[in-house]
Amino acid sequence: MTTTRFAPSPTGRLHVGNIRAALHNWLWARKTGGRFVLRIDDTDAERSEERFVDAIRRDLDWLGLTPDTEIRQSERFALYGARFDALVADGRIYPAYESAQELDLKRKVLLGRGLPPVYDRAALALSDAQKAALEADGVRPHWRFRLDHAMPLAWDDLVRGPQNFDPSTMSDPVVRRADGSWLYMLPSAIDDIDLGISHVVRGEDHVSNTALQLQMFAAMGATPPAFAHTALLTGAEGKLSKRLGSLGVDHFRDVGIEPAAVRALLARIGTSDPVEPLVDMAPLVEGFAFAHFGRAPARFDEAELAQLNARIVHQLPHDTVADRLPAGMGAAEWDAVRPNLATVADAASWWQVIEGPVAAPAPAEDDVAYLAQAAEAAAAIDWAGDPWHALTATLKEATGRKGKPLFLPLRRALTGLDHGPDMTALLPLIGRERAVARLRGD
C-alpha cells in the first residue's frame, strides 16, 4: 500500500511551504488509495510545544487534509535506541569527541585552504584508551553515522530524475548529540521503515539528506522509499521570500481565503497543469502526477491566490457558508450577491445594502425629478414578477431615458453605489417599501 507522511516539528506554526508539502503527500496517498500519516517530529523537547501540535492538527483539518493516523517521535525513543545500538555494534555509528569549537576550527582551516569542510574522521583513529581518558575527563561523545565511501549515493528522483552523490565529499552525519537527544536523520529513516512509508515527498532542500539516508536504509537492511523532491516556493518578486515563512492558515483565514483556494493553488503551481478554481478535491487528486512537476522554483503570488479565491467563492452554495453570513441572510440573498464577492465576509456589506439604511450620494440636479418619478413608478408596478425590468421599462417609456442615464441614478439611489450585483436579483430583496423610500430620498 502507498503510504506517505507529513512530518512537521511542533516548534512553530505551519507556513505555506509546509502546507504545500502536506498537500502533495495527501494527494498522492488519495490518488493511489493509500494512507497519509502525520508524524509529529517532537524529539526536541526544549523547543516543541503542545500548542503547536494542536495547531498543526487544526490547520490540516481546516485544509481538508486530515491524516489517516498520527504518531509522535517522542513516544518512539525505545525503537530508535534499539536501532542505534545495533548500528553501533555493526560499526556504522561511532562516537566522536570534538567540541563544537574544535569542529568549527577544522571547518575554517579547510575552507581557508580552498577545501570542502568535510569531517576528517579523526574520532575513528582514537584507541579505546584514548576514548576512556576523554570520558574520564568528562567529555561526552556525540555520535556519527559512518558513510561507506565505496557505496555510491544514487536514486531516480520522481521529480528531479537521476541523482548521484559521492559519499567521500560528505561528512559523516551526526545522528545523536552528546546529551543523548536525537537529530532528524536517523529517527526519520527508522520511522520510514517501521511505518512502511512508500513515498517521501518533500522540498528540494532535503536532497542531500536523502543521499545520506540512503545508506542508513541500507545499513538497517531496508529498501528505501521512493523520493520526490519538489522545487521550493518563491515569492511574487521572483526570489526566495522570508514572507513565505510567515504565511499560514491563520493569515489565510484572517484575510478571507477559502481552504479550497489554498489547495487549488498549491496543488498546481510548479507543475505543467493549469491553476483552476476547483472546490472539489477530486480533480486535484486525479490529476496529481510527479511527472508534471518542473525543476524551476514554484512562484507563490498572494494576488493570484486572492483572484482564485473570488472565483471559488462564486461557486459556493449557501448551505456551506450559512454559518458565516449575517443573521437573516438566506439563499436568495447569497445567490444575488455571490458573483460580486472576493471573500465570504464581503457578503456583510451587501446585506447592509439590502437591509439598509443606505447612504446614497446626493443626486445630480437633472436626476432629482427623475428619481421622484421613479418612486411613484416603483409604488405602482407589480412586484410579484420582475420589478426591476418593470420599473425601468416604465421609466424608459415615460422619460425617454436609456442606458446609463436610465439605470445609474436608480442604482445609486437604491444601493448608494455605482456598481454591484445584478439589480434584477437585488431589487426584489430590497423590496417595495425600502425601494420607494430610497428613491424618494427618505
Binding residues for ATP: 242
Q: Which residues on neighbouring strands pair with residue 94, listed in sequence order?
A: 144
**CA–CA distances in Å: residue 73 to residues 143, 182, 393, 400:** 19, 10, 72, 78
Q: Tell the residue number behind the cell numbers 430620498, with chain if given.
A: 441
> Which three cell numbers mark 80?
530508535
Q: Which residues contact 410 (CB under 8 A, 6 or more apart)?
A: 371, 374, 391, 392, 395, 423, 439
Residue 376 is which amino acid? E
Angle between helices 404-415 and 423-430 (to 10 degrees): 40
Report the distance separating Cα 423 and Cα 430, nearest Å: 10
CB 351 within 8 A of CB 377: no
Nearest residue to 5 via CA among 46, 41, 52? 41
CB 353 within 8 A of CB 378: no
Nearest residue to 146 via CA among 172, 124, 108, 128? 172
- Tell me how far the alpha carbon of residue 365 is from its chain's centroid: 54
- Give the largest Cα separation in the chain, rounded: 110
Residue 175 is which amino acid? V
Question: Can you say which residues are annotated as belonging to the binding site?
Answer: 242
Residue 404 is which amino acid? K
